[in-house]
């Protein structure tokens, strides 16, 4: 796979001519994450004549001699190496072969030099490990897939990692969360470089929303209780899950567990990692998300009652606070196709 610049366009300037738009260079490496690479190519590498002159130029830089292995059993051959980074306006790191895998010194040096020249450096998903290893995130905010945040934050304490957002733009360093969040960040870059209409046009061709509401929190599964404490309180926890629509005062729960309130609270937190109140909110949110996805004909008021939030206003408050979106937007995102098909009486496949 060798992708070379395919345009030599001229844009009029007040004093001189200049070549076509920003030069995007995407890294290729042994163990290449093909999905993330595909995102970068799809947004920045495809010819888009409808955009006129000045659209992105695109190159691939192999960070090591090939042929290179890629996810999915592919083999990648790249014609150019790290020297092409000297021509870049934006460098994209499309994932990395392992969140704890070492980063070659030559790549670190090339990225540091590019960063000093003012080049933007962007990571998709686990590619954040490369930016962090190069020291580009020191004193900055960043994000990555929620599964990696705790691990990489321990390795690079000088960076403020946020597991709740889809992407982070710190000017010359940009980071995306899980793989598909790379689309959100790439569209964000297009929006900043060429405006809203250009980003919307690219999004339409990708058949994705030009902007997604919310953050990673809406995609994270509920935590698994600690095994030992979970065994002690497992039956009670399951009982609590079965009656989320009802009030569950701590005194009643402690009595049912045969413990004092203080002991119960301590052991419950040891088992679940959360206080009783926090756990109930998370479980009620989990249930409400399930209902919003699957029960498309149930009203938001009925869902609020069924989940124990009582009112739609309370349900909306917790969605906004914890998930960064609204119940209606969440339902539209996850159940829109099901709703449309149900109205037409068709089976969804």
Task: Give, for 77, the enclosing helix (H) or strand (E).
Answer: none
How far is the first Cα of the chain from the last one, in angstroms, to the nearest whole number?
A: 34
| pLDDT value of residue 294 | 78
CA angle 106, 108, 110 (to 5 degrees): 70
Nearest to 167 by CA among 157, 156, 178, 158: 178
Nearest to 29 by CA among 74, 72, 61: 61
> What CA–CA distance (Å, rounded) separates 129 from 97?
10
Q: Mind giving me the DSSP string for 211-272? A: S--S-GGGGPPPPPPPHHHHHHHHHHHHHHHHTTTS---HHHHHHHHTS-HHHHHHHHHHHH
| pLDDT value of residue 335 | 56
* φ, ψ dihedrals at 23, nearest 5°: -95, 110
164, 170, 172, 176 alpha-carbon torsion, rounded to 10°: 10
- Class level of CATH domain 23-218: alpha beta
What contacts 135, CB < 8 A, 6 or more positions away?
A: 108, 112
| pLDDT value of residue 79 | 85
| pLDDT value of residue 204 | 84
| pLDDT value of residue 14 | 28
Pick the CATH number of 227-343 from 3.10.50.30, 3.40.50.300, 1.10.760.10, 1.10.10.60: 1.10.10.60
> What CA–CA distance (Å, rounded) separates 122 from 58?
14
Query: Please, are residues 45 and 110 in contact by the beta-carbon 8 Å criterion?
Result: no
| pLDDT in 10s for each residue of the chain, 349 residues | 333 333 322 232 323 333 578 999 999 999 999 999 999 999 999 988 888 888 999 999 999 887 888 888 888 888 889 999 999 999 999 999 988 899 999 999 999 999 999 999 999 999 999 999 999 999 999 999 988 888 899 999 999 988 878 888 888 999 998 878 899 899 989 988 888 888 888 988 887 877 665 555 555 555 555 445 555 688 898 899 999 999 999 999 999 988 999 999 988 888 877 899 999 998 999 899 888 877 778 899 999 999 999 999 999 999 888 888 889 888 877 654 444 433 333 333 2
> What CA–CA distance (Å, rounded) separates 62 from 81?
5
> What CA–CA distance (Å, rounded) separates 47 from 327?
38
Cα distances (angstroms) measured from residue 237 to each of 22, 224, 280, 295, 315 = 55, 12, 10, 25, 22
User: Which residues belong to CATH 1.10.10.60 in the chain?
Assistant: 227-343
CB atoms inside a 10 Å sphere around CB 217: 16
Pairing verdict, β 74-76 and 160-161: unpaired
User: Which residues belong to CATH 3.40.50.880 in the chain?
Assistant: 23-218
Query: Please, are residues 85 and 47 in contact by the beta-carbon 8 Å criterion?
Result: no
- Is the whole-model pTM more than 0.75? no
Say what angle helices 250-257 and 227-242 make with each other, to 10 degrees.
120
């Amino acid at each position: 796979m060798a992708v070379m610049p395919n345009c030599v366009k001229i844009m009029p300037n007040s004093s001189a001519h200049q070549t076509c738009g920003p030069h995007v260079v995407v890294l290729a490496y042994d163990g290449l994450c093909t999905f993330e690479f595909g995102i970068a190519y799809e947004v920045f590498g495809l010819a888009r004549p409808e955009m006129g002159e000045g659209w992105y130029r695109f190159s691939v830089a192999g960070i090591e001699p090939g042929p290179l292995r890629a996810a999915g059993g592919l083999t990648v051959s790249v014609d150019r190496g790290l020297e092409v980074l000297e021509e870049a306006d934006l460098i994209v790191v499309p994932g990395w072969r392992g969140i704890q895998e070492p980063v070659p010194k030559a790549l670190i040096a090339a990225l540091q030099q590019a960063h000093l020249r003012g080049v933007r450096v962007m990571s998709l998903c686990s590619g954040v490990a490369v930016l962090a290893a190069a020291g580009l995130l020191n004193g900055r905010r960043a994000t990555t897939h929620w599964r990696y945040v705790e691990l990489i934050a321990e390795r690079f304490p000088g960076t403020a990692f946020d597991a709740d957002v889809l992407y982070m733009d710190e000017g010359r360093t940009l980071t995306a969360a899980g793989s598909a969040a790379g689309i959100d960040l790439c569209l964000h870059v297009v929006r900043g470089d060429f405006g809203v209409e250009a980003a919307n046009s690219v999004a339409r061709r990708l058949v994705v929303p030009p902007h997604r509401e919310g953050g990673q929190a809406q995609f994270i599964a509920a935590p698994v209780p600690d095994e030992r404490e979970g065994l002690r309180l497992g039956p009670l926890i399951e009982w609590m899950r079965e009656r989320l629509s009802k009030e569950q005062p701590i005194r009643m729960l402690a009595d049912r567990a045969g413990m004092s309130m203080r002991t119960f609270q301590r052991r419950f937190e040891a088992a679940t990692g959360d206080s009783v109140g926090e756990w109930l909110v998370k479980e009620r949110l989990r249930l409400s998300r399930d209902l919003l996805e699957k029960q498309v004909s149930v009203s938001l008021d009925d869902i609020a009652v069924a989940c124990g939030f009582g009112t739609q206003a309370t349900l909306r408050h917790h969605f906004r606070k914890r998930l960064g979106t609204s119940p209606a937007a969440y339902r539209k995102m996850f159940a829109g196709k099901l709703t449309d098909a149900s109205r037409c009486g068709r089976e969804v496949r």
